[in-house]
Chains A and B, each alone.
Chain A
């Protein structure tokens, strides 16, 4: 989350001559990221990013404390000044106020009742809040926000006279309970939320998140309860996210606030209400504090500081840095003993946490930049490099005119193929289009075709994972390559050619195409393994999908040299009339088997029921004679006649 703060507000607690720009730059490098510094009259506004581990930095006081620790490291004098706070003296006749806490929900409650006059805020408070992006409402509400930004602890005010019997009971909500927030919106609680109820059992506050309509301060209010609740962050996060109420209080509370700040916040609030709302304290101060943070002590070895930072730094210097940040430090022989302040106990547990504090204030910019030395590299085998082959195939596809798509891994019910009971389903999908982890890439790419209607000639491909359930284990992820071709009169053979060349290019030659049992197309095998299919969808669209991991198993860069033939081949074309169901592949295989002098057979041409085969006869040692070839031809024609009922044309 980001907060905005005026420079002058910070400088109430920081004595330094450093400019806003300098403070921003130095803090960004060593502490908290100040993303922008915008001029505001003679003043400046900081835009500060608060990380989840440092909610303690979301206030003017804490930014001042950090700056006072950081600036001297850059040679700029700076000192931190704590806000001066005094406790009011106990009253003789206090008005009654009872709060019953549940310590499993709330770590600390500080509260007081005050007489006030609701009116406008003074300019200073107004300006500071409005530059911080907080709307100024009235002096009472403004004080709560002003204290939150000064000390860093969110709080609430109730109208004392709207709380029945002046008794507040803190409890856990039940699922389905109804509330109306102070901005007049209805909510149904998810259950397990931290709420307060009055003696009638009516819910009067959604603690740590937002006040409710039935107890909020109005222009009529005469007496208020100033109420500081230090709440359990996890419950706040859950309630706030479930209901979608993302107030600043909620965003701070869900990160955890130092409970030692609760009383400071109350005292500063009293002071401000006295000054700006004619406030008078009319009750005793309530402080219910069941969950005090435990003190933490961390021992940090000198060796660790050096090995993490990569530069030598003395224990004395480290101790000095830590002390400026509010840590209590003792220097031992080779270690530091560090007592962690309560504001930091939630994010500091181990020596490395302390090293971070030392390193950041020392300055990351003061640490040199060195490329790590190469380890003894493990051998590289290009032949086994899946990324090499993947890129090679992608580039080939690109050069053949295919454009690569990246479609989502999850699909809608419509695009999911196969029974939904087998589907890997998202428990919390974002939209209906993204529910099931896909089992094939084809529907996604077809969808892309659909969405690009204007392009009647389009070739697309994608390499991505598909997913399959695997019992109680992790799903099986399989890398696939899919391609689609849309053009007027798309041809099966054109796509087959792409698949063949794709496989040839990665060194695979033993490929078989088998007629598909369902639909028009072919199943494809490498050796005996199924690798995928080509599918003719209609007269304009042909697609293929191959298991890329099987391709990788067979892919090779190994090349074998064969001596170039010294004697020219004899080439013959034979035209055969063959039954329709006889496959060309079978005929070619049969012809090849007839003699080891047959060096190659290809299909040259088909016309009606005639197929012309191109046969290459070759001997590696000598010229072949017409007589030798004649014998082979005679033999093979005889075989083809008996095996396939072929007729020579």
Chain B
């Protein structure tokens, strides 16, 4: 009987080995392990064996059964893998996929994220300050004289609230520069407590508001403001940061420059330019003699430092305030002919980005 069992095992294994379809395997399984299969029948014969032989043969018979089952199982995985390949032949891979849901982040969010990453890499820290602000922070402390046009009704939004005796009227921040005052005051205070010198690398990105709405202006928009204050901060440092930002955000081949300009809260003040990406600085219809205006910058005015409790004899600094929408529009591929579209929230627009 021993030999018979081993014979059955070998026969089954060789059949399984040669089988080339799942159906065939099923057939082999029936032939050997089925109710009237060879192994089953042989095992039924075991009763006729002498008692002392039975356990030994029983163990063997079970071994044979397990071996055949395992071989069948292994072979069947071979066929199921094979089978998948057959199914795939019936797929039209050009049919649309079943997509997981995917919404869209607003262009402004995407621009802010990129700007933040660029500045964080050189040690700037993003901050957030009030959007509704005292005149003091928006104008007075920034060295705006009492009658400056920016304070006019037709440029700045005022809140219908009683003016504070010291801090003046309540306005919607017309620029992110109010954050300069908040930041310098905070850091001057911290420095007083810790005895450490003031060292500011601020990035303030926020909603800003001005009373204008046309193809190139929206009453609500976004600015990003940098402020660097420390000992011996010069125009050279400002140029370094400007260059770094321009090359990071617009591309390695773009150049930057600063030219004289005028702002109340910086002295000297600059207009910053980026070389035109369309004509590569040669001059074209889209640019001004090869340059595109990025926005304002300058060395922090000594009055502004003083207004924040910093001694201009000890500290100098620079600041820049640029429009998020503006740098976005200046980026390749995004020329939106009417800026108001950004805040119209048309789904056909939002879903493009």
A, B assembled together: yes
Contact B236 A427 (CB under 8 A): no
**Is B113 engaged at the interface, CB distance under 8 Å to the other chain?**
yes
Task: Please provide the chain B residues from 24 to 39 with a CB less than 8 Å away from any CB of chain A in the complex.
Answer: none
Known: A356-B260, A472-B164. A409 touches B289 (CB 8 A): no
**Is B103 engaged at the interface, CB distance under 8 Å to the other chain?**
yes
| Cβ-closest chain B residue relative to A473 | B164
Contact A36 B288 (CB under 8 A): yes
Contact B123 A311 (CB under 8 A): no
In the assembled complex, which residues on chain A have CB atoms less than 8 Å from the CB atom of B239?
Answer: 364, 367-370
Task: Give the interface residue-count category, chain A.
Answer: 35 or more
Contact A352 B347 (CB under 8 A): no
**Is A293 engaged at the interface, CB distance under 8 Å to the other chain?**
no
Known: A51-B261, A241-B152, A377-B123. A427 touches B158 (CB 8 A): yes
**Is A467 engaged at the interface, CB distance under 8 Å to the other chain?**
yes
Contact A401 B301 (CB under 8 A): no
Stretch at the interface among A175-183, A450-458, A568-576, A602-610: A450-458
Stretch at the interface among A198-206, A314-322, A392-400: A392-400
Minimum Cβ distance to chain A for residue B9 (Å): 36
In the assembled complex, which residues on chain B have CB atoms less than 8 Å from the CB atom of A37?
Answer: 289
Contact A425 B259 (CB under 8 A): no
In the assembled complex, which residues on chain A have CB atoms less than 8 Å from the CB atom of B102?
Answer: 398-399, 401
In the assembled complex, which residues on chain B have CB atoms less than 8 Å from the CB atom of A437?
Answer: 132, 159
Find the residue from B131, B134, B158, B207 having the highest chain A CB count within 10 A: B131
Contact B268 A375 (CB under 8 A): no
- By secondary structure, the B interface counts as mixed
Minimum Cβ distance to chain A for residue B245 (Å): 11
Minimum Cβ distance to chain B for residue A570 (Å): 30
Contact A28 B259 (CB under 8 A): yes
Contact B219 A434 (CB under 8 A): yes
Contact B345 A407 (CB under 8 A): yes
Minimum Cβ distance to chain B for residue A21 (Å): 8
**Is B337 engaged at the interface, CB distance under 8 Å to the other chain?**
no
Contact A352 B299 (CB under 8 A): yes
Minimum Cβ distance to chain A for residue B353 (Å): 10
Find the residue from A37, A356, A425, A461 having the highest chain B CB count within 10 A: A356
In the assembled complex, which residues on chain B have CB atoms less than 8 Å from the CB atom of A51?
Answer: 261-262
In the assembled complex, which residues on chain A have CB atoms less than 8 Å from the CB atom of B131?
Answer: 409, 465, 477
Task: Give the interface residue-count category, chain B.
Answer: 35 or more
In the assembled complex, which residues on chain A have CB atoms less than 8 Å from the CB atom of B154?
Answer: 241, 428
**Is A408 engaged at the interface, CB distance under 8 Å to the other chain?**
yes
In the assembled complex, which residues on chain A have CB atoms less than 8 Å from the CB atom of B109?
Answer: 394, 404, 406
A51 to B159, CA, bound (A): 29
In the assembled complex, which residues on chain B have CB atoms less than 8 Å from the CB atom of A451?
Answer: 344-346
Minimum Cβ distance to chain A for residue B272 (Å): 10
**Is A522 engaged at the interface, CB distance under 8 Å to the other chain?**
no
**Is A219 engaged at the interface, CB distance under 8 Å to the other chain?**
no
Contact A234 B101 (CB under 8 A): no
A347 to B269, CA, bound (A): 13
- Which 6 pairs between the two chains have the least Cβ-Cβ distance? A401-B101, A310-B234, A310-B236, A356-B268, A375-B199, A53-B262
| 12 further interface pairs, Cβ-Cβ under 8 Å (given A426-B172, A427-B157, A430-B213) | A52-B149, A310-B236, A352-B268, A356-B267, A360-B260, A364-B260, A369-B236, A369-B240, A376-B199, A400-B101, A407-B343, A452-B347
B residues with a Cβ closer than 8 A to A are 100-106, 108-109, 113, 116, 122-123, 125-126, 128, 130-134, 147, 149, 152-154, 157-162, 164, 170, 172, 199, 201, 207, 209, 211-213, 219-220, 228, 230, 232-237, 239-244, 257-262, 267-271, 288-289, 299, 301-303, 316, 342-347, 350-351
